[in-house]
């Protein structure tokens, strides 16, 4: 059974990558959209551009993982293809994990392109690579789980897009991308601490500034916690929808 689940996860992830993610509009949008936001902020407030890099990477991985993830499941439920997948010898959590896998791989791929560009411009010295890799991986997993939860929580594609944007855009402005969380009013700081993007930005900041690994352990642990909670909720809601 375990082998069937693992094989099913891989094939579902590959199928989603080919069918939904690896399309020119998705690739270009996933790379250019975060750059556009960061550039607009940099033009409005020129200063330390290097300080915007953690936010740029976090924003790229957020939209790269969650944009299609938030609509794939609800779309396949509408056309009946998700139910056909359930006929395979694979459990519901494994099926959903395969869906997450597609978003994770795509999000990490577009973020890698952005990271290479950033390193070519600013250099690669003083980076804690282990912390950086784990921060990117756990961020991609948490944001993909968020997209999956959004996708199973609604019945229509337009509802998924609306709900996803309702969650993502406040995160952009509260998660420390443009303004440090510590400079926000106290009640907004409390709200920011309830958002996974905040911990992604902090972990990436620690990694890119070359801090010791332990500096990002709490952020990594919180991202893992978000992943487990959102994935568990997504499995439960999807089971109720299909039942």
Query: Per-residue b/e over 121-146, b at no fewer than 16 CB within 10 Å?
Result: eeeeeeebeebbebbbebbbbbbbbb
The Cα angle at residue 217 between residues 147 and 50, in degrees rounded to 5:
75
Please give the structure tokens belonging to residue 67: 């944009």
Flag whether pLDDT at 181 surpasses 70. yes
> Using one digit for the tens of pLDDT, what is the confidence trace for 151-180?
888 888 888 888 888 888 888 888 888 888
Whole-structure pTM value? 0.89
Q: Which residues of 211-231 are buried (b: 16+ CB within 10 A; e: fewer)?
A: eeeebbeebbebbeebbeebb
pLDDT, tens only, 79-125:
777 777 777 778 888 888 888 998 899 889 889 988 888 888 777 78
Q: What share of the chain is helix, strand, coil (3-state, %, to 5)?
A: 85, 0, 15
Question: 66 or 232: whose pLDDT is higher?
Answer: 232
> Residue 5: what pLDDT?
80
Q: How many residues does the chain have?
A: 243
Tokens of 173: 């402005």
The mean per-residue pLDDT over the stretch 132-146 comes to 94
Radius of gyration of the CA atoms of the chain, in A:
18
């Amino acid at each position: 059974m375990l082998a069937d689940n693992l094989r099913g996860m891989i094939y579902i992830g590959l199928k989603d990558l080919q069918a939904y993610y690896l399309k020119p509009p998705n690739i270009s949008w996933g790379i250019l959209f975060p750059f556009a936001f960061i550039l607009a902020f940099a033009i409005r407030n020129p200063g330390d551009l290097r300080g915007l890099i953690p936010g740029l990477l976090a924003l790229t991985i957020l939209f790269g993982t969650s944009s299609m993830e938030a609509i794939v499941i609800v779309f396949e439920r509408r056309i009946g293809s998700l139910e056909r997948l359930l006929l395979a010898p694979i459990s519901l959590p494994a099926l959903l994990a395969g869906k997450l896998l597609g978003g994770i791989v795509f999000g990490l791929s577009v973020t890698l392109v952005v990271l290479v560009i950033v390193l070519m411009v600013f250099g690669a010295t003083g980076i804690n690579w282990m912390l950086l890799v784990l921060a990117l991986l756990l961020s991609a997993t948490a944001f993909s789980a968020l997209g999956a939860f959004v996708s199973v929580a609604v019945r229509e594609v337009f509802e998924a897009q609306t709900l996803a944007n309702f969650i993502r855009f406040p995160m952009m402005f509260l998660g420390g991308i443009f303004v440090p969380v510590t400079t926000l009013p106290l009640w907004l700081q409390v709200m920011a601490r309830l958002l996974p993007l905040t911990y992604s930005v902090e972990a990436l900041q620690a990694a890119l500034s070359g801090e010791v690994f332990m500096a990002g352990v709490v952020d990594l642990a919180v991202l893992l916690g978000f992943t487990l909670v959102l994935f568990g909720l997504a499995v439960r809601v999807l089971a109720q929808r299909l039942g």
